[in-house]
Structure 1
């Protein structure tokens, strides 16, 4: 029953913080700057992002609840600290990329986020294997998102100074 109580706090908390980060600046189709960028051909359709992130935030919240519920488990504190550090970077990525238009910095943020998320997942595995497995889809997605961010930077070397024309979008093969 304790896990359920933790999950009732962590899942909505993680989802809410992720939502607030995503709403802090215009993103996706709401961002003329983003629409004006050249994007790699593997860029998912806009609807994929809110679906993926909501699912991932729920899984992350559940993973966090599993670890929080493991009172007295060896390495629990380190696992929670690593999770917190990667989650702060996760929340920072959207304002850096969409708000500041700093694609290079966003690439560094997501690389550090991935490194910390891998470390958190390994630490979660030492506490409870289930928590680590719940983090795997997140690791896959942010790896993909990191590649997308890096490619957008390559395709748009002047992204920070890009002045969008209304309704423009490019996909590069």
Structure 2
């Protein structure tokens, strides 16, 4: 086990997600609190806990996929991961900072497809790496419903 690489793979999404969340959500809490939300909307304190856990699983999955990939296929296996991580970060800006909730919903649909592709590619090189992304897929499915409901409830 390469502990340095493992730590880096776990910390990159956690720190990146924290920075993105801070930048995208800065000065938006009051606005979010004033939105009409569905009954299944969790309290805001749930999101950083859930995302930290999911980013950690995501990073560990990447580490495993990277370790089990032959150099000739590593780029094919890891590219969807990098793309989905970028899409993940962009969503916060679309939804919170720029108030583009319909666009955020479309982007999240693409994000879900990219996570699915990542899980598929990871599964081909390491079954556990693919399975580690299942909670992320579940959470993004829930977040999609939440995004959709907030968008629908707050359309003018």
Q: TM-score range by the shorter chain?
A: over 0.9
Which residue pairs with 1:107 in the alignment? 105
Q: CA RMSD in A?
A: 1.6
Question: Where do 4+ consecutive residues of structure 1 move more than 6 Å?
Answer: none
Residue in structure 2 matching 1:78, options 76, 79, 90? 76
Q: Aligned-pair distance for 1:72? A: 1.1
Q: Secondary structure at the match of 2:50?
A: helix
Residue in structure 2 matching 1:62, options 60, 63, 80? 60
In the alignment, structure 2 segments of 5+ residues that lack a partner are none
Any idea what the Cα deviations from partners look like across 1:88-115, whole Å, max 9, x if unmatched?
1000010111000010011011110001
Q: Aligned-pair distance for 1:30? A: 5.3
Which residue pairs with 1:165 in the alignment? none
Residue in structure 2 matching 1:139, options 137, 140, 144? 137
Q: Aligned-pair distance for 1:71? A: 4.0
Instruction: Give the Cα separation in 2 of the matches to 1:125 and 1:73.
Output: 16
Which one has a larger percent helix, Structure 1 or Structure 2? Answer: 2
Q: Aligned-pair distance for 1:8? A: 1.3
Instruction: Give the Cα separation in 2 of the matches to 1:132 and 1:99.
Output: 32
When Rg is computed on C-alpha atoms for both structures, the one with the higher figure is 1
Q: Work out the number of aligned pairs and report it.
A: 156
TM-score by length of 2: 0.94
Conserved in 2, the CA contact under 8 Å of 1:74 and 1:127? no
TM-score by length of 1: 0.85
